[in-house]
């Protein structure tokens, strides 16, 4: 390592170090280390009819405080994965120090990882998971406002038909990305009747002759991973039932990847 952690820290939280343009082999993504502990809260409460699978929404009685940020959270998870290094051996810092460090991370591109010696050093914690447990208020305030979940340039792709051939190519691309790139972020949607419009971070896959089951971090469900399934025969994706979705086929594209596949 070109510089020690303490030397990197002494440069100051606000300093933007150059990004490496050389290929960076990402370490394995681990759910219990690389995700956020808090949830993207829902404006509506969704009740799924167990017989029909239909979802009946109603406004939450308790107004949520942190909403419409699934893409913000997915992007932030990848930004910390690509640009931060945690050093639990250093003492816990001040609130303003962490505010500056979080801003330094989320200013950087979610597409191009930093070189190891150019990462933002986060003292006092061993992972994003522990940082978000202790500093959730700061992370919620600094990772991004709700409008950033809607003004993602790749979203335009959803208005055009998503063919099965497109989904087959995307599934192959995502399988390859899990081996060679930072964890891909995918956009799940139904259009024109938008019954789901959501972001997941993929970090693993289990394959069989019939299907590929992608392991995913869901900003709405921070407690455990979820599955996104791809059926090789029908060449379609499906997302199982959750507390906000009745389950079923979805169209999928990739976000923050350059071209919106």
Residue pLDDT, tens place only, 65-117? 899 999 999 999 999 999 999 999 999 999 999 999 999 999 999 999 999 99
pLDDT of residue 21: 44
**pTM to 2 decimal places:** 0.84
- CB contact at 8 A, 205 and 175: yes
Rounded to whole angstroms, the Cα distance separating 203 from 223 reads: 15
The answer on pLDDT for 154 being more than 80 is no
User: What is the percent of the chain with per-residue pLDDT over 90, rounded to a whole number?
Assistant: 68
C-alpha closest to that of 33 among 71, 93, 89, 88: 88
Average pLDDT over residues 178-194: 92
For the ranges 153-157, 179-183, 186-190, 194-198, the lowest mean pLDDT is seen at 153-157
Task: Give me the chain's average pLDDT, please.
Answer: 86
Identify the pLDDT of residue 14: 41
Give the lowest-confidence range in 47-61, 146-160, 221-235.
47-61
Both tokens assigned to 238 = 């499906």
Give the pLDDT confidence score for residue 9 in this predicted structure. 40
B/e letters for 24-60, b = 16+ CB within 10 Å, e = fewer, are: beeeebebeebbbeebbbbeeeeebeeeeeebeeeee
Rg (CA), the chain: 19
Q: Which is more confident, 52 or 179? A: 179
Q: What is the mean pLDDT of residues 213-227?
A: 98
Compute the distance between CA of residue 251 and CA of residue 192 in angstroms, rounded to an integer. 11
More confident residue, 161 or 52: 161
């Amino acid at each position: 390592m070109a510089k020690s952690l303490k030397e990197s820290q002494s440069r100051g939280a606000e300093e933007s170090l150059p990004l490496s343009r050389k290929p960076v082999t990402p370490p394995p993504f681990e759910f219990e280390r690389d995700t956020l502990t808090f949830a993207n809260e829902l404006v509506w409460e969704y009740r799924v009819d167990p017989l029909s699978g239909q979802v009946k929404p109603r406004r939450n009685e308790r107004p949520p405080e942190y909403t419409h940020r699934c893409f913000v959270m997915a992007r932030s998870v990848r930004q910390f994965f690509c640009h931060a290094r945690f050093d639990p051996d250093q003492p816990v810092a001040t609130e303003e120090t962490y505010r500056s460090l979080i801003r330094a991370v989320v200013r950087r591109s979610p597409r191009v990882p930093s070189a190891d010696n150019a990462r933002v050093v986060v003292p006092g914690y061993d992972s994003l998971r522990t940082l978000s447990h202790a500093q959730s208020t700061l992370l919620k305030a600094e990772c991004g406002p709700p409008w950033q979940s809607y003004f993602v340039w790749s979203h335009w792709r959803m208005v055009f038909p998503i063919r099965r051939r497109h989904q087959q190519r995307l599934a192959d691309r995502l399988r390859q990305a899990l081996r060679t790139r930072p964890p891909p972020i995918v956009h799940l949607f139904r259009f024109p009747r938008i019954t789901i419009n959501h972001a997941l971070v993929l970090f693993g896959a289990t394959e069989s002759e019939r299907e590929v089951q992608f392991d995913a971090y869901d900003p709405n469900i921070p407690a455990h991973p979820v599955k996104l399934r791809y059926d090789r025969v029908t060449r379609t994706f499906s997302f199982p039932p959750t507390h906000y979705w009745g389950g079923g086929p979805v169209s999928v594209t990739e976000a923050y990847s350059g071209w919106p596949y």
